[in-house]
Amino acid sequence: TTEPPILSTHGLCAGYGDFQALFSVDFEIMPGEVVALIGANGAGKSTLLKAVMGLLPSNREMIRHAGVPVGGSAPYQMVQNGFAMVPEGRRLFAGMTVEDNLLVAVDHGRKNGAAIWTMQRVFDLFPALASMRKRLVEKMSGGQQQMVAIGRALLSQPKVLLCDEISLGLAPKVIGEIYDSMPAITKAGTAVILVEQDVSRALAASNRLYCILEGRITLSGNSADVAREDIARAYFGAD
């Protein structure tokens, strides 16, 4: 088909002040696709997500949404355009209930037109949350909080969900529950970028993967096809 990627970057560079963290990154993701972004600590995975969202200075003319340059869009405009980030550490609103954390996003999501995701649909996705609507988020387990963070992002009706290390620090059982929600998310047409430290999990959950090393893409391919030796080389830079 001639359908453009829902998100693409071409020659994307970004950094923090004088420090350049991304070097000419080419990346793309199709609607409904799950793409894993792997790499060691400090490789630049979070930086790529932040640059896409407009949270960092970058050559943003190199970022396209469905083929159209996003230009100087501010982070809130990127959310309105259909990009939602599940940030590392979740960043929920403490002192607020599950329901109120989700409602914040419902108000944002309205601006995106057709509402695919409703609060009920989030509870269908994560049944564990349904009975905890009125609970303060800080009284919940890390895994449950992560579900709220994902639900909140979905309620902004994203076309691309950018997930930053959603399994970090969580128990294997709940990581499994969270990853099991991915097919239902992509079935709704949402593409998912998974920043993930666990390479096996990243491979199992994704259609394609990119490996990043010191700010450069060192490998990309179909997750089912890439050879472990190639991943190791791309990940550690050893030869």
Run of H or E residues at 124: helix 119-125
Single out the residue of 6, 25, 39, 65 in contact with ligand ATP (rule: CB under 6 A).
39
Q: How far is the CB of 146 from ligand ATP (least distance, A)?
A: 16
The span of 44-52, 73-81, 92-100, 147-155 binding ligand ATP (CB under 6 A) equals 44-52
47 scored as a contact of ligand ATP (CB under 6 A): yes
Q: Give long-range contacts, CB 8 A cutoff, 24+ apart: 145-149.
A: 145/90, 145/92, 146/86, 146/90, 146/170, 146/174, 146/178, 147/177, 147/178, 147/181, 148/90, 148/92, 148/98, 148/101, 148/102, 149/86, 149/87, 149/90, 149/91, 149/92
Is residue 237 at the binding interface for ligand ATP, with CB under 6 A as the rule? no
In this chain, which stretch among 16-24, 110-118, 123-131, 149-157 interacts with ligand ATP, using CB under 6 A?
A: 16-24
| 19 part of the interface to ligand ATP, by CB under 6 A | yes
209 counts as binding ligand ATP under rule CB under 6 A: no
Query: What residue ranges bind ligand ATP (CB under 6 A)?
Result: 16, 19, 21, 39, 41-47
